[in-house]
């Protein structure tokens, strides 16, 4: 049976038009600071970022009578709208052929270690409401005829909790949430970049009072940088991950995230040693992860050298055609690189082989118009010669067509349509790809309500460090929806953000303006282009999927030296329109140093390979092998069990990155609730743990 889906359905799921923004409220005041005439906007709660997580937080706050506004560097230009995920991982108790339970889902979410048990349970329980509310808003999650959600297996989850609206799942999430935000009348300030967070008080008594932003439309002779002040009593970091941190990245261009901004604010970061890397098309064209059916149809993979010669390089790594084909298929649901899967001829040997080809200066391609070429001396590729799990999957999917492109057209025609929208026709030509950085699993440290270590500041989505070393594919989208809702509940319960903030923030604004001017130096030898090249080359070449203690330690020193130079000389700019980019690269330099500080600490303490990275060590106990023999340069340390039980935290103290560790928070899965005993905590707001700092105002 062939899959027949009309073109207009394919178009609707691929060309997802985003809503038009309405008008922006005018500033309520102006403030003269250090010679700048700065417009002032006031709100109760402010969300930085317009992706799926930030929109969820804003919508839920508005529903709870919080006076909320959104600022965004570029509306609908972030990861969840432009690249993002093709799947949402959710509780599947409503499927007719397989049940689920929250404990099992929480165990799967935290299975990679370095994750708090209570956070995993919160994400599992909250997934039901996340899915139902998205469906209520119009997200077309697929169902069977009895109303059960269709789902499939994804990476790091053997149950099959993933579901999908097609390759634009996360963009569709942004669309329905954005429409709801606009319907609710939430003020939305576009082309507005957070530059400095303003706080009052010190240490445990610190509290947010506002954000100084760069807003080009506010630019004038009296305000050449376009500074604008947003005063607020609650602030939500929701601007995604540090996409510009790596040269080899699947993030859309211009995704800076806010880790550097968070460090400057005094927030703690956690698990920033943990990222995800995997195969995808390069950001110079159309960045997209090549998971799922892109590899499950088993296309031919080859490289091309500078002279134009093709190389069937995977044949040097796998012993048989069947083994090679089956592991290419498994990249569909084992998409992220994982050190342990380089062993025993498993699927991450594919990533390693591709990475090594690129290191030779060769381009690597997927060819959907050819079946995989055989291993030397072995029989040709055949769908009749595949590992049992692979053969069973393709048989159940009815994917017995002769060529990969025909299998892809049958299993997932949207995969073809997506690239066509960006002038790439994979039915006619091979597709270049590489191993890229895709997601930051760490981020700003938060508790079970999304609170940071500074009162009034929260973090959700990829900005928050709620993930551990690994996570099920698609669960990051779920985490953003769950914690977006919980943050809104907590902000509303605190009572601080019910009306616009009227606090005087002029003193804090003065300090922030002076800090900004200290970075902007027209005659600095440090340029935006130079800082960018320095950071991205160092991270991609020394903190990618293969790391060594020596390389990381040296990279750490060089990152410190870059920040010292920036503090001394600033960063130059040619036009005032570049001011925002200067500040973002200054903050990215801090984020890079923080990541390398934590990674250097982890490795120097004997940390082993987990999640995104193999810690290569000539004394390591794990040695990957290829068909041609052992690969001694990739010998690595295995992960230590004790490291799975702890997390690494980083905080900027002056000019120094301070590192500490803490054990994962535990959760008693056998604890039971008692209605009569526990209901009062709900009625009185006791569940929100409101202390003096974030309790209702007097």
Residue 629 has pLDDT above 60, yes or no: yes
Confidence grade of residue 656 (pLDDT, cut at 50, 70, 90)? very high
The predicted pLDDT at position 96 comes to: 47
- For residues 350 and 450, membership in a common domain is answered with no
Q: Which of 389-393, 476-480, 676-680 has the lowest mean pLDDT?
A: 476-480
- For residues 531 and 585, membership in a common domain is answered with yes
Section 10-18 average pLDDT: 72
- For residues 82 and 133, membership in a common domain is answered with yes
**Pick from 419, 435, 451: which residue ends a domain?**
435
- For residues 84 and 229, membership in a common domain is answered with yes
pLDDT higher for 237 or 422?
237
Residue 555 lies in a domain: yes
Confidence grade of residue 464 (pLDDT, cut at 50, 70, 90)? very high
- How many Å apart are CA 269 and CA 265, to the nearest integer? 11
Residues 6+ apart with CB under 8 A from 357: 303, 311, 313, 364
Residue 685 lies in a domain: no
pLDDT higher for 489 or 574?
489
Q: pLDDT, tens digit, for every residue of 673-688?
A: 899 999 999 999 999 9
SS3 label, residue 525: coil
Residue 377 lies in a domain: yes
Section 204-230 average pLDDT: 96
- How many Å apart are CA 209 and CA 211, to the nearest integer? 7
Output the domain CATH number for residue 75: 3.50.50.60
Confidence grade of residue 476 (pLDDT, cut at 50, 70, 90)? confident
- For residues 430 and 445, membership in a common domain is answered with no
- How many Å apart are CA 337 and CA 297, to the nearest integer? 19
Confidence grade of residue 142 (pLDDT, cut at 50, 70, 90)? confident
Which residue range(s) make up the domain with 43? 29-274+441-508
Residue 333 has pLDDT above 60, yes or no: yes
Alpha helices, DSSP H, located in 506-604:
506-519, 528-542, 549-569, 579-604
Section 596-600 average pLDDT: 98
Q: pLDDT, tens digit, for every residue of 278-296?
A: 999 988 788 888 988 999 9
The predicted pLDDT at position 698 comes to: 46
pLDDT higher for 454 or 1?
454
Residue 691 lies in a domain: no
Confidence grade of residue 1 (pLDDT, cut at 50, 70, 90)? very low
Q: pLDDT, tens digit, for every residue of 99-131?
A: 567 888 888 888 888 899 999 999 988 988 998
13 in Cβ contact with 214 (< 8 Å): no
Residue 457 lies in a domain: yes
The predicted pLDDT at position 91 comes to: 60
Residue 496 lies in a domain: yes
Residue 19 lies in a domain: no
Q: pLDDT, tens digit, for every residue of 45-100?
A: 999 999 999 999 999 999 999 999 999 998 887 777 666 555 556 665 545 445 56
- For residues 190 and 51, membership in a common domain is answered with yes
The predicted pLDDT at position 250 comes to: 85
The DSSP result for 401-465, as a single string, is -SSHHHHHHHH-HHHHHHHHTTT--TTTS-EEEEEEEEEES-EE---TT-B-SSBTEEE-GGGB-
Rounded to whole angstroms, what are the CA distances from 504 to 27, 69, 176, 209, 363?
15, 19, 36, 9, 57
- How many Å apart are CA 26 and CA 642, to the nearest integer? 54
- For residues 490 and 565, membership in a common domain is answered with no
- For residues 174 and 305, membership in a common domain is answered with no
**Pick from 476, 508, 540: which residue ends a domain?**
508
What's the chain's average pLDDT? Answer: 91
Domain count of the fold of the chain: 3
- For residues 472 and 547, membership in a common domain is answered with no
- For residues 264 and 120, membership in a common domain is answered with yes
Section 593-605 average pLDDT: 98
């Amino acid at each position: 049976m062939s899959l027949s889906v009309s073109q207009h359905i394919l178009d609707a799921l691929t060309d997802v038009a985003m809503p038009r923004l309405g008008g922006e409220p005018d500033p309520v005041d102006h403030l003269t600071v250090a010679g700048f005439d700065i417009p002032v906007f006031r709100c109760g709660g402010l969300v930085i970022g317009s992706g799926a997580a930030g929109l969820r937080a804003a919508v839920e706050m508005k529903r709870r009578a919080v006076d909320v506004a959104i600022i965004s560097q570029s509306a609908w230009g972030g990861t969840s709208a432009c690249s993002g995920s093709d799947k949402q991982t959710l509780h599947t108790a409503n499927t007719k052929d397989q049940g689920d339970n929250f404990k099992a889902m929480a165990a799967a979410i935290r299975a990679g270690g370095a994750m708090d048990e209570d956070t995993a349970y919160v994400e599992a329980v909250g997934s039901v409401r996340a899915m139902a509310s998205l469906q209520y808003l119009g997200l077309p999650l697929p169902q069977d005829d009895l109303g059960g959600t269709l789902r499939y297996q994804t990476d790091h989850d053997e149950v099959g909790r993933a579901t999908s609206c097609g390759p634009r799942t996360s963009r569709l999430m942004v669309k329905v949430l954005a429409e709801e935000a606009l319907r609710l009348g939430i003020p939305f300030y576009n082309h507005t970049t957070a530059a400095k967070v303003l706080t009052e008080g010190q240490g445990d008594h610190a509290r947010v009072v506002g954000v100084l932003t760069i807003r080009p439309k506010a630019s004038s002779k009296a305000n050449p940088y376009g500074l604008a002040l947003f005063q607020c009593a609650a602030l939500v970091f929701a601007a995604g991950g540090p996409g510009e941190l790596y040269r080899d990245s699947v993030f859309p261009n211009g995704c800076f995230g806010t880790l550097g901004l968070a460090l400057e604010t005094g927030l703690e970061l956690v698990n920033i040693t943990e990222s995800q890397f995997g195969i995808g098309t390069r950001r110079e064209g159309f960045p997209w992860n090549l998971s799922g059916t892109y590899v499950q149809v088993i296309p031919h993979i080859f490289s091309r050298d500078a002279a134009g010669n093709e190389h069937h390089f995977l044949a040097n790594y796998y012993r048989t055609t069947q083994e090679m084909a089956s592991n290419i298929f498994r990249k569909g649901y084992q998409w992220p690189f994982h050190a342990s899967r380089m062993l025993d001829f498993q699927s991450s040997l594919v990533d390693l082989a591709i990475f090594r080809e690129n290191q030779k200066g060769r381009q690597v391609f997927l060819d959907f118009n050819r079946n995989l070429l055989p291993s030397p001396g072995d029989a040709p590729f055949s769908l009749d010669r595949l590992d049992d799990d692979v053969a069973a999957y393709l048989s159940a999917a009815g994917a017995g067509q002769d060529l990969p492109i025909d299998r892809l057209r049958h299993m997932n025609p949207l995969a073809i349509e997506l690239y066509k929208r960006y002038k790439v026709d994979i039915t006619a030509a091979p597709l270049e790809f590489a191993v890229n950085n895709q997601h930051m699993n760490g981020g700003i440290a938060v508790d079970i309500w999304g609170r940071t270590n500074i009162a009034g500041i929260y973090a959700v989505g990829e900005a928050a460090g709620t993930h551990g070393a690994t996570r099920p594919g698609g669960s990051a989208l779920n985490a953003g929806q769950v914690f977006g809702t919980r943050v809104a509940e907590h902000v509303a319960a605190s009572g601080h953000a019910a009306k616009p903030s009227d606090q005087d923030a002029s003193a804090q604004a003065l300090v922030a303006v002076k800090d900004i001017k200290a970075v902007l130096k027209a005659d600095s030898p440090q340029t935006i282009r130079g800082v960018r090249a320095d950071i991205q080359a160092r991270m991609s070449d020394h903190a990618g999927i293969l790391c060594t203690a020596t390389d990381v330690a040296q990279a750490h020193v060089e990152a410190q030296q870059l920040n010292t130079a920036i503090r001394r000389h600033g960063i130059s700019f040619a036009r005032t329109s570049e001011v925002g980019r200067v500040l973002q690269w200054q903050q990215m330099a801090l984020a890079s140093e923080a990541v390398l500080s934590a990674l250097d600490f982890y490795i120097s303490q004997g940390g082993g390979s987990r999640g995104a990275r193999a810690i290569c060590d000539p004394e390591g106990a794990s040695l990957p092998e290829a068909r041609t023999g052992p690969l001694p340069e990739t010998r690595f340390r295995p992960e230590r069990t004790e490291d799975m039980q702890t997390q690494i935290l980083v905080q900027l103290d002056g000019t120094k990155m301070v590192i500490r560790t803490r054990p994962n928070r535990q959760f008693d899965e056998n604890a039971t609730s008692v209605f009569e005993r526990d209901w009062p905590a709900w009625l009185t707001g006791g569940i929100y743990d409101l202390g003096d700092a974030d309790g209702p105002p007097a």
